[in-house]
Amino acid sequence: MFKEFNPNEKNFTDEASYLNKELENSYDSSVYNWKPGMVDEDGKMLKLRITKSTLTTYKFCPRMYYYQYVLGLKQEPTEAMTRGTNVHNVVEYFWKQIDEDVLKQLTQLLDEDKHMTAKGILREFMPKPEGGFLYDEDICLEQWFTWQWLRLLICYKDNTLEHWKAVGNEVEVHAMDEIEVEGQKVPLHYKGFIDRIFSDANGGFILMELKTGKWVNKPYKMSSMRFEMEFYKEILMKSQHMEFLPVTHWGWEYPYGQINGGDKADWIVEETKRLSTYASRSIANVRKKLVASHVNDDFPTVHSDKCKSTCRHLSNPCGWCSYYDICPAWNKIKEMTI
């Protein structure tokens, strides 16, 4: 069992917030294991629930999606997952502590050239569990903190300290939609948690995602991040979260990007303008296939007999898939019953 750490009073998933009653009702009538014509016990039509994770899992492998979300088979927790959870909890806590009073105090200390005191105050907002972290969370958090500190110094110098602070922290967003697939209208409910939202200082907003895995500066990694960020941008627009619109930029930070042979710890911020069009097409494509899988009750495996012995699925994603032992692509069940 891995040791989780959460300095927040409540887990962000326990603090449900909907924009209005209609969205709350829509969420309550949405399920992951949706089938055509499915109704609840009162005869009310149910919707298919879509999140960033369901879309990205389906994109990796429709069968993996089927096991995880349609059948609800839980994945075994791993060290990497626990590191991710613990780092996210501490970063969420950090931003919750930054208010106007803290900003005033920091400004005053920086005015007086007391940089180390200011840095020390900020560091106090990153608590540790008794006995310390166990899964390299501190390496990850140290890098993340360094970036925030440097960004703070730049904002102070530019007299824009108010834009250093996140304006949204673990923002829960819900939205409704309906799409037509194979002649059927399918009602959808989207749910997402946006790690952080910042002001772009010109009336627009920057969506920021924190990752604790490895970073490789390759086109496939860039497009997978743009896919995730576009999902958030679209649900903010669909649900009319005007306080965070327009989204002009998105970005991601990988403070432990060097892990598992990754390139290095890195962060990237991009203008959404041109990139959004391509990412939006990609989302629409995956969403359509995902809904068609539900309509046809067909969730194919990404790996098949036709793959060569050197196929990339041997290591990614099959290599780390929790469902490898029950997946028909690998004939394990067949072998066991012969």
Q: Are 79 and 135 in contact (CB under 8 A)?
A: yes
317 contacts ligand SF4 (rule: CB under 6 A): yes
In Å, how far from its chain's centre is CA 128? Answer: 23
Q: How far is the CB of 330 from ligand SF4 (least distance, A)?
A: 6
303 contacts ligand SF4 (rule: CB under 6 A): yes
Q: How far is the CB of 216 from ligand SF4 (least distance, A)?
A: 20
DSSP alpha helix (H) spans, 16-68: 21-28, 52-60, 62-65
Q: How far is the CB of 106 from ligand SF4 (least distance, A)?
A: 47
Opening angle at CA 11, ends 5 and 16, nearest 5? 170
Q: How far is the CB of 57 from ligand SF4 (least distance, A)?
A: 9
Tell me which stretch binds ligand SF4 (CB under 6 A): 73-81, 119-127, 205-213, 326-334. 326-334
CA-closest candidate to residue 321, choices 294, 301, 335, 292: 301
Judged by CB, which is closer to ligand SF4: 104, or 332?
332
Q: What is the largest CA-CA distance in the chain?
A: 77
Element of type H or E holding 143: helix 137-157
327 contacts ligand SF4 (rule: CB under 6 A): yes
311 contacts ligand SF4 (rule: CB under 6 A): no
From 29, 30, 57, 301, residue interacting with ligand SF4 (rule: CB under 6 A):
301
Residues in a beta bridge with 188: 48, 177
* Token couple for 140: 């990850």
Q: How many CB atoms lie within 10 A of CB 154?
A: 11
From 152, 161, 173, 302, residue interacting with ligand SF4 (rule: CB under 6 A):
302
293 contacts ligand SF4 (rule: CB under 6 A): no
Q: How far is the CB of 325 from ligand SF4 (least distance, A)?
A: 9
Number of residues that bind ligand SF4 (CB under 6 A): 15
Q: How far is the CB of 151 from ligand SF4 (least distance, A)?
A: 38
Q: How far is the CB of 328 from ligand SF4 (least distance, A)?
A: 8
Q: How far is the CB of 220 from ligand SF4 (least distance, A)?
A: 16
What span, in angstroms and rounded, lies between the C-alpha atoms of 89 and 93?
6
Judged by CB, which is closer to ligand SF4: 160, or 296?
296
321 contacts ligand SF4 (rule: CB under 6 A): yes
Tell me which stretch binds ligand SF4 (CB under 6 A): 107-115, 199-207, 241-249, 322-330. 322-330
Q: Provide the mask over 46-75, with x wherever binding to ligand SF4 is found by CB under 6 A and - wherever it is not.
A: ---------------x-xx-----------
In Å, how far from its chain's centre is CA 190? Answer: 13
CA-closest candidate to residue 230, choices 189, 286, 174, 275: 275
By CB atoms closer than 10 A (0-12, 13-18, 19+), residue 256 is buried
What span, in angstroms and rounded, lies between the C-alpha atoms of 218 and 239?
32
What span, in angstroms and rounded, lies between the C-alpha atoms of 110 and 160?
13
Q: Which residues bind ligand SF4 (CB under 6 A)?
A: 61, 63-64, 301-303, 313, 317-318, 321, 323-324, 327, 329-330
